[in-house]
Amino acid sequence: MPELPEVETTKQGVKPYLENQTFESIKVRNKNLRIPFNTKLKDKILDSKIKQVSRRAKYITIDFTNGFSVVIHLGMTGNLRVSKQSRFLKHDHIIFSLSSANNLIFNDVRRFGLVYIYRTKDGFYLLDNNGPDPFEQEATRTYLFNKIRKSNASIKSILLNHTIISGIGNIYASEILFKTNISPFKEGKDISEYECNEILKASRMILNKAIKAGGTTLNDYFNADAKPGYFKIQLNVYDRAGQPCKTCNSELVRVVQSNRSTYFCKICQKI
């Protein structure tokens, strides 16, 4: 489920409950996440003060003053919630008990997400492999243009390639291309520097709008039954195959590109 805006909203939701607190214990109900939770390191992060909670791409990191960190990725179905209750739900896999008597709970139906402890200075390789997300300073038109100017891949799959630009998921890839009037089939080598800039601008605009929409649900994080701060911005093309284009009224279509659905308007997004 989570795209970058959901991850950012989740981070904002849990952050006030974590910073300057400590984890007093960690209960592992199922460690078999995408990468197994490394239980043997869990003592390393107990009783050390949480210095900072941050997000990069779709990863949330929690840094401790003793030089260790925890990275959390929500995968397709993951969510975090803060709760004082000790009754847990199906798919609550990792429970961090805080000094404030709250619990930080990682729930993930499909277990495509991960929770992983590492030494801060060593970094976490999956996160380090990511390119900048659209909000980071390195994500300039020149950077993107140089990355893709020789690429035969479609711009749709380029937007999903996190080593180039991170944080864009399947929904927003379609939305960004619609916004910029670029065909999802257009190849990297045919995308101009101007279009690279339009893509980055549209990415920030669309992601920001979604983050703002999610901000209103922050109170829900402190609640045992809380749904994740789940929201959906007004989507122009995603999941709207057969419905009229909001710009030209022609019928939107769905195609499959590298095994993922792409939605677009054949009229507004010509090659």
Partner DNA sequence: AGTCGCGCCTGGCGGC
Partner DNA sequence: TGCCGCCAGGCGCGAC
The residue type at 235:
L
* 3 has catalytic annotation: yes
CA atoms of 56 and 224, how far apart (whole Å): 26
- The residue from 28, 41, 46, 126 that contacts DNA (CB under 7 A) is 126
Cβ closer to DNA: 32 or 249?
Answer: 32
Show contacts with DNA in window 186-245 (CB under 7 A).
Answer: 188, 230, 232
- CB neighbourhood size of 138 (10 A): 10
H-run or E-run covering 125: helix 125-128
The string over 50-85, giving b where at least 16 C-beta atoms fall within 10 Å of a residue's C-beta and e elsewhere, is bbebebbbbbbbbbbeeebbbbbbbbebbbbbbbee
- The residue from 38, 65, 67, 76 that contacts DNA (CB under 7 A) is 76
- The residue from 169, 184, 214, 229 that contacts DNA (CB under 7 A) is 169
Token digits of residue 119? 């030494």
CA atoms of 197 and 190, how far apart (whole Å): 14
CB of 118 closer than 8 Å to CB of 59? no
CB of 179 closer than 8 Å to CB of 202? yes
Q: Could you tell me the smallest distance in angstroms from the CB atom of residue 94 to DNA?
A: 15
109 interacts with DNA by CB under 7 A: yes
Helix, strand, coil in percent for the chain, rounding step 5: 30, 25, 45
Per rule CB under 7 A, count of chain residues that contact DNA: 38
184 interacts with DNA by CB under 7 A: no
81 interacts with DNA by CB under 7 A: no
Q: Could you tell me the smallest distance in angstroms from the CB atom of residue 1 to DNA?
A: 4
* 6 has catalytic annotation: no
121 interacts with DNA by CB under 7 A: no
CB of 133 closer than 8 Å to CB of 166? yes
Query: What is the separation, in whole angstroms, between the first and last Cα of the chain?
Result: 30
Binding mask 19-38 for DNA (x = CB under 7 A): -------------x-x----
- The residue from 15, 55, 58, 240 that contacts DNA (CB under 7 A) is 58
Of 56, 58, 81, 186, catalytic: 58
Of 2, 5, 132, 228, catalytic: 2
CB of 78 closer than 8 Å to CB of 2? yes
**Residues near DNA (CB under 7 A):** 1-3, 6, 32, 34, 57-58, 73, 75-76, 90-91, 109-112, 126, 129-130, 150-154, 157, 160, 162, 169-171, 188, 230, 232, 258-261
